[in-house]
Amino acid sequence: MDMTHVTFILVFLVAVALLFDLINGMHDAANSIATVVSTRVLKPFHAVLWAGFFNFAAYYIGIYFGFEAKVANTIGKGLILPDLVDNAVVFGALAGAIAWNLITWRFGIPSSSSHALVGGIVGAGVTKAGFSAIVWAGLSKTLYAIVLSPFTGFVLGILMIVLVSWLFIRANPAWADGLFRKLQLVSSALYSIGHGSNDAQKTAGIIAVLLYSNGVYSEFTVPSWVVFSCYLVMGIGTMLGGWRIVHTMGSRITRLTPQQGACAETAGAITLFGATALGIPVSTTHTITSSIVGVGSAKRASAVRWGLAGRIVWAWIITIPATAALAALFYLAGSRLM
């Protein structure tokens, strides 16, 4: 295979990875802005600009706190052995994840882009080399997070709304409503930073292992230009938005007040910051959805549309096996071409 062909495939796959990053931002735009839109704190257009800006700003915040590439390292070398990764594996993982994201985006289902990517990597890697390709320590950490991150968001959502309700029990309702409308801008920005810092790094990890497998770097590393590009594209994707999912997240699960919205976003942001600092690729969709359910159920259980919440949970459960199967098919197709 001549170098021109190899270079073309490498550039093509980097472009596909950035396309996944863009779709991830579009798919997960609802995570950052659903509550501020549903409570009418911001109009949709202004909300996506707000969220997109802070998704990108997360790059510089990550550098300051020293976690700009922790999740990228987990994705790049912590799920399957990096020495087994080739162009067909990367293509299968990305194509499977993109296909699943487009399906769920089309039907307004807030499934997890993160778990779609994890399922894609594992599915393509296992198809190539069997289960010996899996780095079980890294995969088990990610699978634990599938359960723990929504549970953490749910519990923190309940605790936040109970604490805030107690602190403001004697406050003038109109004054409190105005205060929490302003605080929602802060909580939405924090959640957008958490979203960008965790999700953009996942694509960076894929590009990093792709560059390593093609010999661009002699050892696995996550270059700064890769991380920067992924944060930038994630921010642009967020600005493009995904309105079907905004509607599902912002109003169909439960009706939110500004106070509840601020509590849900803050609970979700705390969960994401903790996961990113530990290098754990968690689902931002799962986190904010469970935080919203926690906040809604703290008021009364009937405030949550449990039937819809149940269907969302089923979408979460099938995401990894579905994307693994799709990735296996795309890997088999890609291995004949690359």
| Per-residue confidence (pLDDT) for residue 43, from 0 to 100 | 77
CA–CA distance, 272 with 192 (Å, rounded to integer): 10
| Per-residue confidence (pLDDT) for residue 136, from 0 to 100 | 92
CA 115-238-271 angle, to 5 degrees, is: 50
Residues 11 and 223 sit within 8 Å (Cβ to Cβ): no
Residue 338 tokens, joined: 């690359």
Short-list 112, 119, 24, CA closest to 80: 119
Over residues 308-332, the pLDDT tens digits come to 556 666 777 788 899 999 999 999 9
| 3-state SS string for the chain | CCHHHHHHHHHHHHHHHHHHHHHHHHHCHHHHHHHHHHCCCCCHHHHHHHHHHHHHHHHHHHHHHCCCCHHHHHHHHCCECHHHCCHHHHHHHHHHHHHHHHHHHHCCCCCCHHHHHHHHHHHHHHHHHCHHHECHHHHHHHHHHHHHHHHHHHHHHHHHHHHHHHHCCCCCHHHHHHHHHHHHHHHHHHHHHHHHHHHHHHHHHHHHHHHHHCCCCCCCCCCHHHHHHHHHHHHHHHHHCCHHHHHHHHHHCCCCCHHHHHHHHHHHHHHHHHHHHCCCCCCHHHHHHHHHHHHHHHHCHHHCCHHHHHHHHHHHHHHHHHHHHHHHHHHHHHHCCC
Over residues 206-260, the pLDDT tens digits come to 999 999 988 888 889 999 899 999 999 988 887 776 555 555 554 454 567 888 8
User: Which of the four pLDDT bands, split at 50, 70 and 90, describes residue 199?
Assistant: confident
pTM confidence score: 0.83
| Per-residue confidence (pLDDT) for residue 251, from 0 to 100 | 47
| Per-residue confidence (pLDDT) for residue 250, from 0 to 100 | 46
pLDDT > 80? residue 296: no
Q: Mean pLDDT of all residues in the chain?
A: 83
Question: How distant is the alpha carbon of residue 191 from its chain centre?
Answer: 11
